[in-house]
A and B are shown apart, each in its own frame.
Chain A
């Protein structure tokens, strides 16, 4: 089955609009998170991409190719839709990350509370030393 077929069945369900209502946990990241461009400038790092961009790409790939939980075409379409307004002012690839998390929550792949708890947990681990 091609991605087009996947997308077609998605459209047939009538669910061809991504719910762009802001999600609180992602809004916090959007408002408070420091984007790579600012961090790189402050610390004199020349890499144009944050180190987590590769793992983000891999997550997108494996969600599409491995489990088919989130086909690439649908994810990109939703990213474009969300980027029109909600994440319009967020630079890339931070915008791609917010849109991915948004799409996953809206699909019920995990919920907002679970993500908020996990963010706290990761934060605690990364800042514990």
Chain B
């Protein structure tokens, strides 16, 4: 055994400083199910392998960075801010997002409707976004929605008790700040343009964009110097879970 360990150490050493990222060396039943569903759908003619490849590429390219950059640009350029608030789709072009032409359809998609509204916060007004019906989200500019955004718990409660739900997210707002909840729907997607925080004077667009996290763009957090990632959110179960037998 010691010989074998020595050999393994030596082999590792021979590969120099490069370390492969850890990988899951196990095929799970869920991974197999995903492939099986996809292959059957292709075999049945529901879509082609090429269609799927193009959508995968598109989905893979999505993330929250363009929206963060839009906010940073708006903070630095009052004219751009006016454009963002007046025409979110047009303002998206400046951060590399074409709501019409980017999706594989080439004409937008029913899931990513081409009507982005940028909601501007003020010191006395806070916006927060939800989709009470399902999980509509401005994917072209913000990427995939987080799990908690999809939960019935968040969707039902935010519209009823926004101040309380925001407090659960760690965002305590004073009573004199008005909260407006924007309910995404089949025609419109929303993102929040938060107030630029103090302590960021003289910052570059890149540096500003770093503190505009996904949660700030949904409205459940506000940007803070030094905070560049989303807090871990608990996923609340249904209020009246039903236990079934396995």
A binds B: yes
Q: Which residues of chain A have a CB within 8 Å of any CB of chain B?
A: 2-4, 26, 28-29, 31-36, 39-40, 42-46, 50-52, 54-59, 61-67, 69, 71-73, 76-77, 80, 84-86, 88, 92, 94, 97-98, 100-101, 104, 109-110, 114-115, 118-119, 121-123, 126-127
Contacting pair A58 B55 (CB below 8 A): yes
Subset of 20 A-B contacts with CB under 8 Å: A29-B29, A34-B28, A34-B30, A39-B28, A43-B23, A43-B26, A45-B21, A52-B30, A54-B60, A58-B56, A61-B55, A61-B109, A62-B51, A63-B41, A64-B111, A65-B55, A67-B46, A94-B30, A101-B33, A119-B36
Given A54-B56, A121-B36, 11 extra CB contacts under 8 A: A3-B111, A34-B26, A40-B24, A50-B31, A58-B56, A59-B38, A73-B133, A80-B152, A97-B33, A122-B35, A122-B36
- Cross-chain contact B144 with A57 (CB below 8 angstroms): yes
Write the nearest CB–CB distance from B104 to chain A, whole angstroms.
8
Contact B34 A55 (CB under 8 A): yes
* Given known A2-B186, A88-B242, contact A123–B32 (CB-CB < 8 A): yes
B contact residues, total (Cβ < 8 Å) = 53
B94: interface (CB < 8 Å): no
- Interchain CB contact under 8 A, B38 and A55: yes
A59 touches B37 (CB 8 A): yes
Give the docked Cα–Cα distance between A35 and B30 (Å): 7
Question: Is A66 a contact of B51 with CB atoms below 8 Å?
Answer: yes
C-alpha spacing A65/B39, complex, angstroms: 18
* Nearest Cβ on chain B to A64's Cβ, whole angstroms: 6
A109 touches B44 (CB 8 A): yes
B51 cross-chain contacts in A, Cβ below 8 A: 62, 66
